[in-house]
Amino acid sequence: MTRFLAKLAAACALLVAAPALAQPVDTGHLVAELVARDQSIAPGATTYVAVRQKIDKGWHTYWRNSGDSGEATRVVWTLPPGWTAGDIVWPAPTRQPTGPLMNYGYQGEVLLPVPITAPANAKPGETVTLKAAASFLVCEEICVPEDAVLTLSLPVVEGLADPNPAWSGPIAKALSDAPTPANFASVFAKQGTNIVLAVTGEDLKGADVSDAYFFPFDSTLIDHAKPQAIERGPDGLTLTLTPGYAFQEGDGPKTMAGVLSLGDRAYEISAIVGTPPAGASGLGAPPSKAVGGGGGALGLPLAAAFAFLGGLILNLMPCVFPILAMKAASLAGHAHDRRTAQGQGLAFLVGVLATFLALAVALIAVRAGGAAVGWGFQLQSPPVVAGLALLMLAVALNLSGVFEVGSSLQGVGTGLAGKRGMAGAFFTGALAVVVAAPCTAPFMAPALGWALTQSAPAAITVFLALGLGFAAPFALAAFVPGLLTRLPKPGPWMDGFKKLLAFPMYGAAAWLVWVLTIQAGETALARIFAAAVILALAAWLLGVAQRRRAAGEKPLLLASVGAVLVLAAAVAAIWPSYGAPQSGQAASASAGGAASVPYEAYSPEKLAAAQAAGKPVFVNFTAAWCVTCQVNEKVALSTQGVAEAFKQTGAVYLKADWTLKDAVIEAELAKHGRAGVPLYLVYGAKGGDGVILPQILTEGLIVRALKDAQSR
């Protein structure tokens, strides 16, 4: 009777408590929950509880070895006394290529089963709460760290547990499909610049190995982005891999453990150093297939595709927002005049392409003359930065209504005073490209790095592809009637919106002044402020002259004085040449929020010395005018977690500041296939080349990279 009552109590607890505790958690880009294989558990028994992830379309999470970037899902359990949780049973991952990087992880829905064991003294009739703190890095083109605290109630009963009708089958399938140790003979050998991994066994005879791929447990064993060539043999297969940093020093590792995936099947293997057997290959036949990739030479089609994607993403970067907001306002003003909207869309496209073409020609010409320049090179010149700061101020004053440039929101200077419509759209496109130069979007870096090592026609093609991607959203919007008709009709609201847009432009001007002080020292501040005051006075005089002209007067003197003052402001901003900043000023100013992490100015000698001392090294190629760099400084590099990781690993932090021209830094960028900043390199404690991190950093990504570097 007592046993019956205990079972009855457990059943009631299951029905009442479980639904209240096992609630899914939406972390932002996935929904997570704990799901159990069984509805209950007996004292001393083991069941499986899985962390279920339902991931948003286009996003992914990571396997135990995330590959070139990313971070594995982590689960920390809080269990009642005596209860234990085992290791995650990881499903076989899939390849998640991102630009030139190759990552390993999951899309859609994935179950991560974990064995949970109850103590022998667990009391039947009680209901326990299992709690798991899960951390996910969820990535698309950007990565977002997300967390969830998950709970699940599990009744304790005597005897065999009843299977959970909803999750027993899926968890059983996840366990059966998970890679298991195979009875294979696995050996590897370093041959020239490659690693040959040979696997033989009965289960491989006659098997389809066309989709074979080796996922190592250790992220330093291979270059994940390089192809894996497959050679079929009568008793198995041979994979030709590109060695990672574990092979850079000494004799390299003695074992290579990981998962051998054959498409619908996956096996855990642990290869030892040895001579590949003849049965693993086709006796010298050429490889049947190469998979992976993305990290080799891009080629023109792929570089152009990367540039186009980078141009699209560039529209989302903060430095471009003020100009694109102006263009959006213009589209709204002509939303119900289809022909005008289409003409302005084309003019904007032509302005973008013409400016990108001009930048490309200038870059190619300067580099051909032997100068060390890259993307954003024009912002390394203090006179150019000063001139742009005044231009942004003039645009802001125009938007604020101090003076008018034609009737278009796209006027960008007094030289356009008589221009309307098409000319305004053209120069808005040109200005958008100019202010976009401080930003480098994902996919842009490898594309531009490749382009600047090629012939002039190839380089220009890549730059034009970048321009097409950048201009595409607004150019296409002008030709989509359904979108245009949904925009609000022109009215009094546009004047208020126009004045509101002035404030991002004031912000852009202030930011450029900050960059100028880093490049030319604090004495440049007084000079640019004086020029700004002169320009503001000129704008006010021109505005007064315009209003009097509208009233029928002829204020020739006011207009002439205003024009002279505009010229005086421009001369004061760009001539004579600016002096150099005090030693170390540029580097310290561009440190942003990273003051909590001590660093030294980069030099090849300091890098070599740190490597010789057996220390991991983090090199940050940055610039004060690089908006992406500054965001990474604030969001990732200045966090307490990163500071602790530097202390724990003993890593050396070197900063390569490219705010001003530096041929040594430009050469290092080119060496790694980059034409601009940011670039982040992590060197292992045992030496070798640096691992390139993604352009968008997270705290977890940096911490993981530093810990990996400590052991390689």
Same domain, 494 and 372: yes
Both 407 and 492 in one domain: the answer is yes
Q: Please report, rounded to a whole number, the percentage of residues in the chain having pLDDT higher than 90.
A: 31
Strands of the sheet with 127-139, listed across from one edge: 74-78, 127-139, 143-155
Instruction: Report the chain's mean pLDDT, rounded to a whole number.
Output: 80
Question: Is residue 649, in this structure, part of any structural domain at all?
Answer: yes
DSSP state of 243: B
Q: What is the pLDDT of residues 185-198, one digit of tens each?
A: 899 988 878 899 99
How far from 333 is each of 251, 399, 409, 493, CA to CA, in Å?
69, 15, 10, 10
Domain residues for the domain of 150 are: 2-177
Per-residue pLDDT of 501-511, as tens digits, reads 788 788 878 88
359 belongs to a structural domain: yes
Question: What integer pLDDT is reported at residue 387 of this predicted model?
Answer: 86
User: 265: domain CATH number?
Assistant: 2.60.40
Domain with 691 in it: what CATH number?
3.40.30.10
Does 352 share its domain with 276? no
Taking only the tens place, the pLDDT of each residue in 385-397 is: 888 889 889 888 9
Asked if 124 and 247 sit in the same domain, the reply is no
Residue 582 domain flag: no
**Confidence band of 595 (pLDDT split at 50, 70, 90):** very low
What is d(CA 604, CA 409) in angstroms, rounded to the nearest whole number? 48
Check whether residue 206 and residue 325 sit in a common domain: no
If asked whether residues 530 and 609 sit together in one domain, one would say: no
- Does the pLDDT at position 286 exceed 70? no
Residue labelled with tokens 């209504």: 401
Tell me which of 177, 205, 221 is where a domain ends: 177
Q: Looking at residue 36, what is its pLDDT? A: 95
| Res. 591 pLDDT band, cuts 50 70 90 | very low
Q: Are residues 314 and 284 in the same domain?
A: no
Between 472 and 581, the higher pLDDT residue:
472
Q: Rounded CA gap, 427 and 410, in Å? A: 7
- pLDDT at residue 651 above 90? yes
pLDDT band for position 482 (cuts 50, 70, 90): low
- 205, 231: one domain: yes
Contact status, residue 163 vs residue 38, Cβ threshold 8 Å: yes
Tokens 């190995």 locate to 209
pLDDT at residue 520 tops 50: yes
User: Which of 574, 598, 624 is where one domain is finished?
Assistant: 574
**pLDDT of res. 439:** 64
What is residue 700's predicted lDDT score, i.e. its pLDDT?
Answer: 87
- Range picked from 182-191, 281-290, 660-669 for highest mean pLDDT: 182-191
Q: Please, what is the end-to-end C-alpha distance for the chain in angstroms?
A: 63
Residue 118 domain-assigned (yes or no): yes
Query: What pLDDT is stored for residue 19 in this prediction?
Result: 35
Q: Are residues 193 and 211 in the same domain?
A: yes
8 Å CB contact between 631 and 594: no
Write the pLDDT tens digit of every residue in 340-381.
Answer: 778 888 888 898 899 888 888 877 776 555 454 556 666 777
Domain-located, residue 651: yes
| Within a domain: 581 | no
Kindly state whether residues 363 and 483 are assigned to the same domain.
Answer: yes
Answer with the one of 141, 156, 177 that is the final residue of a domain. Answer: 177
Mark whether 555 and 596 lie in a shared domain.
no
Residue 491 lies in a domain: yes
The predicted structure's pLDDT at residue 407: 38
Q: What is the rounded average pLDDT of the residues 126-137? A: 94
Residues 208 and 160 in one domain: no
Q: Is 224 domain-assigned?
A: yes
The band of 289, judged by pLDDT with boundaries at 50, 70 and 90, is very low
Rounded to the nearest 5 degrees, what angle is found at the Cα of 235, between the Cα atoms of 232 and 240?
40
Domain count across the chain: 4
Higher pLDDT, 582 or 677: 677
Please enumerate in sequence order all residues whose Cβ is within 8 A of that of 682, keeping only pairs 6 or more positions apart, or say none: 616, 617, 618, 619, 690, 691, 693, 705, 706, 708, 709
At 267 the pLDDT is: 92
